[in-house]
Structure 1
């Protein structure tokens, strides 16, 4: 399916499609396509499917680029996000979250199943029982979430069979297991997190088999661990990277993506040279405030790799330029630390198609439940 072309903003002083004032989030779609194609080729060579996490971009247009590149479906975090993508004809959706389903959530999921294949997560016997109570004997599919070292949600891998059996008894179709190796977000854990992922999912798969349930889906993945997971997928049948599509400063600093691969930037204007530094008109309200322990600042400047964003407030970013700063009025690009947070702060992405700038709505923004 071709991504629909959306109306563009007209300006007397800027090319069609470009907003009249900074800051705004810009996307280089050629880089996006290269990132998607590279990951798709690697996944195909490893015999692993891609089901990218769309919470990164929240954009149906970008989701369709991922599907056109070979993704089997998308991953989301909430029922609301799933509803948005289903309305835009994405028809294979994993809600990778241990949902606690009540009657109202069940009604929404039942309606969603009329438009898409729907897979949800659970990580407890009570959670599995609730799914069965409200949605047993429906087309809903379930994956058991296991903890592979991130220690957020997910049962111990050896308990996956018990939870799967409880879901099966409740009339729910258990497809397999999934995990999120979120501890990969550390410079010294990219490969060890992938090893933890493989080990945990192998144990979980064996636990399901011992309970009489054959795991048809064994799902993992994060952007930092993607290459290591593809090098040795082990029991994995699919991976769910998110940030790989557009990149961010975290991936740059982790060494998983180079500056030439980063497709999402905040276009901003220098407004001051106070204190001998560049101060731009983009602050935490568009860049996001995330700063991981390994981050060297509040974002990165691709055209000046040695520059560091040393101070961030709501509408100011102060940049130590490591030299004479550019004068006020200069437009520069900043790569946000965390793409998911930055995208969630705007209504529109301005997408460059070889000089033709189009607006893509961040359609799933705000759908947090």
Structure 2
């Protein structure tokens, strides 16, 4: 990445456009504001923050896990859409950043990212021609996207006819009832042969997403994931033996944040000097206090688990009836697609107290409020909330304060992370 462009984010002026930035920060750069030593008490609510210690722990833990397992990591950048965090992942050993659509590619190239894996099929003609021009202009740019039908191959080839550089693609294998991807090995082979025959494209690997196969860690779900990964391995071997791959390095890639242990177990043995087995886990960096906490491979084993780096903060603004408190943060502020926020502790009267929330729960949410039940709180108290599913947390905030420790009595703001959604 272009380190200078990432570093320049610290010079961006803060103002009313960033809902996490208090009025006291307006007109100052990020660097100037941080130099003043702000604390959590200087920020308003509702708010979502990151925890510096948890981020560092998760970066190091995943890097060590991949190194020991002998697999590469191209973390899904769509989770955070934060170039500063992408750079930290690359510095920790990631071989590329995975993205999901054309606007995200535009952000990546604006910050000079040169190793990009698009976990999607890019069919937009203007986007393909732009990408081809980027590839021609930057010999160090490495890119591959997905394709799962002969028709898609035809459309891509047509859009790229006469373009300055070919585009690399991976054949995607799916499963019945799942998301995208060829449904059979025969179909996938036909797509691979169509790519091989198109001079505008280069066959660069085999891809898939096992997270679309299952959504829990029951024995039946783990078995279904295993069967799918075996098919992915079979497809790779089939195309390798048919000599259809056209790039010096071939990727065999799968692995979200729920089953990367199974991916490694089934696919890592296929790695060679040419074949690179690459995980695409993205949620590990921020982790969560919900879905991924329950399903992460490191939570299902004796390994050191990831730590949640994401927290919501909301203030009690009303207690209209016994047992009910209304918080000033709702669906516009906190993610809720894989579970409501989890009440964790209360900041009030200069003290932290988790006991007041022992039997509490967020029972409902609307646009700007959360309905907190059975909590021992008072109007004015600030409640820390654990969040589930980081992929839908970052996109609500263009700026996320990073705290030295969300568990501290008075957390210090040590960084501000800029996102681009």
TM-score by length of 2: 0.76
1:256, distance to aligned residue in structure 2 (A) = 5.1
In 2, the alpha carbon distance for the partners of 1:55 and 1:147 equals 21
Counterpart in the other structure of 1:318: 371
Counterpart in the other structure of 2:256: 222
Q: CA 1:190–1:256 in structure 2 vs 1: closer, same or farther (change >3 Å)?
A: farther
Question: Does the 8 Å contact 2:335/2:387 carry over to 1?
Answer: yes
Higher deviation after alignment, 261-270 or 227-236: 227-236
1:196, distance to aligned residue in structure 2 (A) = 3.3
Unaligned runs of 5+ in 1: 292-296
In 2, the alpha carbon distance for the partners of 1:35 and 1:305 equals 27
- Establish whether residue 254 from structure 1 lines up as the match of residue 298 from structure 2: no
Which residues in structure 2 correspond to 1:286-301 (within 5 Å)?
286-291=333-338, 297-301=339-343
In 2, the alpha carbon distance for the partners of 1:253 and 1:272 equals 32
Q: CA 1:326–1:231 in structure 2 vs 1: closer, same or farther (change >3 Å)?
A: farther
Question: Does the 8 Å contact 2:402/2:415 carry over to 1?
Answer: yes
Query: Aligned to 2:168, which of 128, 141, 147?
Result: 141
Q: Deviation per CA, 1:42-68: give whole Å up to 9, x if none.
A: 111111100000111010011111101
Q: CA 1:277–1:10 in structure 2 vs 1: closer, same or farther (change >3 Å)?
A: closer
Q: CA 1:260–1:272 in structure 2 vs 1: closer, same or farther (change >3 Å)?
A: farther
In 2, the alpha carbon distance for the partners of 1:161 and 1:356 equals 52
Q: Deviation per CA, 1:225-263: give whole Å up to 9, x if none.
A: 123333454447001011111012211243657697000
Higher deviation after alignment, 56-65 or 113-122: 113-122
In 2, the alpha carbon distance for the partners of 1:352 and 1:37 equals 18
In 1, the alpha carbon distance for the partners of 2:177 and 2:87 equals 30
Question: Does the 8 Å contact 2:61/2:306 carry over to 1?
Answer: no
Higher deviation after alignment, 153-162 or 228-237: 228-237
In 2, the alpha carbon distance for the partners of 1:43 and 1:150 equals 30
Counterpart in the other structure of 2:33: none
Question: Does the 8 Å contact 2:284/2:306 carry over to 1?
Answer: no
Counterpart in the other structure of 1:294: none
Higher Rg: 2
Which residues in structure 2 correspond to 1:1-369 (within 5 Å)?
4=7, 6-7=10-11, 16=38, 20-102=43-125, 104-113=126-135, 114-115=137-138, 116-135=141-160, 138-148=165-175, 151-158=178-185, 159-171=187-199, 172-182=201-211, 183-188=213-218, 191-192=222-223, 194-214=225-245, 216-234=250-268, 235=270, 237-248=277-288, 249-254=290-295, 261-274=307-320, 275-291=322-338, 297-303=339-345, 304=357, 307-321=360-374, 324-353=375-404, 355-363=412-420, 365=421
Equivalences, count? 356
1:101, distance to aligned residue in structure 2 (A) = 3.7
Aligned-pair Cα RMSD in Å: 2.8
1:161, distance to aligned residue in structure 2 (A) = 2.0
Matched position secondary structure for 2:119: strand
Higher deviation after alignment, 297-306 or 140-149: 297-306
Question: Does the 8 Å contact 1:25/1:266 carry over to 2?
Answer: yes
1:138, distance to aligned residue in structure 2 (A) = 2.0
1:39, distance to aligned residue in structure 2 (A) = 1.1
1:190, distance to aligned residue in structure 2 (A) = 6.1
Question: Does the 8 Å contact 1:197/1:220 carry over to 2?
Answer: no
In 2, the alpha carbon distance for the partners of 1:305 and 1:147 equals 43
